[in-house]
Amino acid sequence: MELILASRNKKKIREMEAILAGHFPDVRVLSLDDIGFEGDIEEDGTTFEENALIKARTALAASGNRIAAIADDSGLAVDALNGEPGVYSARYAGEHGDDAANNALLLKNLAHLPPEQRTARFVCCIALVYPDGREMTVRGETQGLIIDEARGEGGFGYDPYFYYEPFGKTFSELTADEKNGISHRGRAIAKLAEELKNI
């Protein structure tokens, strides 16, 4: 089974393929580069679901409407910040993908709060679109706390500051298997796999 993932992020593509392979051993996840898509996709939706659908529809069209496409939109939602950074997680500090600046702004905005009031959740919405016009979305969430000091060498984005209490680790300290089992993306992909089985 082939699917296009509307992304160029190699870590995300490997993570998606690894989790889906647990359900579909023959799965092959293609990237935007694999199908020759150039340029960027404008994510101008106001929800994770809208942005995921925009990206998946674009990838499907770029394949000549031949290969089903999936896309995820994910981010961090902090309760004390009314859900920020939300859909703007990757560009919270202004420039897209500047993890250091995004984390610095997050910590600055939370500096006045004690640890117990820094509750947050990682959210992942995955959209799946088929050449025949069928579309669906699934959502996964993981609850945690934002801590002051970065911990761990793995992960990306806000992972070093996102503390997952049941394991006593940040997302950057988790092994790939641990993270895939409890992460927002892992939970969303598990739901996606169930939908794929039904289809």
Q: For residues 144 and 154, give the distance between their C-alpha atoms in angstroms, rounded to a whole number.
A: 17
Tell me if 47 sits within 8 A of 53, measured CB to CB. Answer: no
> Rounded to the nearest 10 degrees, how much is the dihedral formed by the CA atoms of 138, 144, 149, 150?
-30
Amino acid at 174: L
Quote the tokens at residue 48.
């994770």
Within 10 angstroms of residue 180's Cβ, the number of other Cβ atoms is 19
Strand 119-129 versus strand 135-146 pairing type: antiparallel
Active site residues: 73
Cα angle for residues 169, 9, 33 (degrees, 5° grid): 165
Listed in sequence order, the residues at least 6 apart from 111 whose beta carbon sits closer than 8 Å to its beta carbon are none
| 2-5 and 69-78 strand pairing | parallel
Q: Which amino acid is at 125?
A: C
In this structure, what token pair is assigned to residue 28?
């092959």
